[in-house]
Amino acid sequence: MTENTADIDDNGDGFTLNPDLPVLPAFPVSQRDGAAGGRRMACFMNAYLLRVQRHLGVEPWKEERALALYNDAVRQYDSLSDAESKRLMKRLRSRASRQAKALFGRAVAAPRYQVEGSAGLGKTSSFVAAYKKSPALWSKRIFYFCPTISLGREFVAALNANAPQGMPNAKIVTGRTYADDHQNAPCRRAAIVKGAQGKVGSVYKSFCNDGDGNKCPFFETCTYIEDRKDSSPGIRVMPHANLVIAQAGDLEPIPPI
Helices (H) and strands (E) in the chain, counts: 7, 3
What would the pLDDT profile of 107-128 be if each residue is shown by its tens digit? 998 898 888 777 788 899 999 9
Compute the Cα dihedral for 145, 147, 148, 154 and give only its sign.
negative
Tell me the C-alpha distance between 199 and 208, whole Å: 15
β-strand pairing of 234-239 with 141-146: parallel
Q: Identify the band that residue 146 occupies on the pLDDT scale cut at 50, 70 and 90.
A: very high
The strands making up 141-146's β-sheet, listed across from edge to edge, are: 141-146, 234-239, 171-172
Tell me the C-alpha distance between 246 and 235, whole Å: 21
What would the pLDDT profile of 51-73 be if each residue is shown by its tens digit? 999 999 999 999 999 999 999 98
Q: What's this model's pTM, rounded to 2 decimal places? A: 0.74
Report the pLDDT value the prediction gives residue 185, as an integer from 0 to 100: 92
Report the pLDDT value the prediction gives residue 249, as an integer from 0 to 100: 58
Tell me the C-alpha distance between 40 and 15, whole Å: 42
Tell me the C-alpha distance between 159 and 169, whole Å: 8
Burial state string for 92-131 with b = 16 or more CB within 10 A and e = fewer than 16: bbeebbeebeeebeebbeeeeeeeeeeeebbbbbbbbebb
Report the pLDDT value the prediction gives residue 16, as an integer from 0 to 100: 56
**Cβ neighbours for 21, distance < 8 A, ≥ 6 positions apart:** 1, 4
Residue 230 in this model has a pLDDT that exceeds 50: yes
Compute the Cα dihedral for 15, 19, 25, 31 and give only its sign.
negative
Report the pLDDT value the prediction gives residue 148, as an integer from 0 to 100: 92
State the distance between the two ends of the chain, measured CA to CA, in whole angstroms: 54
